[in-house]
Amino acid sequence: KNTDVNSLIYYDSKNDVTILFFFTEGGKCVYSKLIEDVDDLESRVTEYNSKYQKISDLHWTEVKAGKIYNIRIEKDEYTLTTIISV
């Protein structure tokens, strides 16, 4: 256990999806990660293209309540990770 990181992890075993939320000491969420199978890449990109402003391949942005959110996808051989940060 890393005591320097305040996080919450949710795992959906039925769909094999993991979501991690990372918080400041004050409890404010500063970023999240969605980890899923790399086979979901095409549908996830299509979804993000319709919801967010595309910056480049696998990178989008959204302005909500005066804050800029960066959404990016990292992929490797087996997994796809969406990272959302403020």
Q: How far apart are CA 5 and CA 22, in angstroms?
A: 7
What pLDDT digit, counting tens, does each position of 17-48 carry? Answer: 999 999 988 888 999 999 999 999 999 999 99
**Ramachandran assignment for 9, one of left (phi > 0), alpha (psi -120 to 50 degrees), beta (any other):** beta
Please state the pTM of the whole predicted model. 0.84
Mean pLDDT over each residue of the chain, to the nearest integer? 92
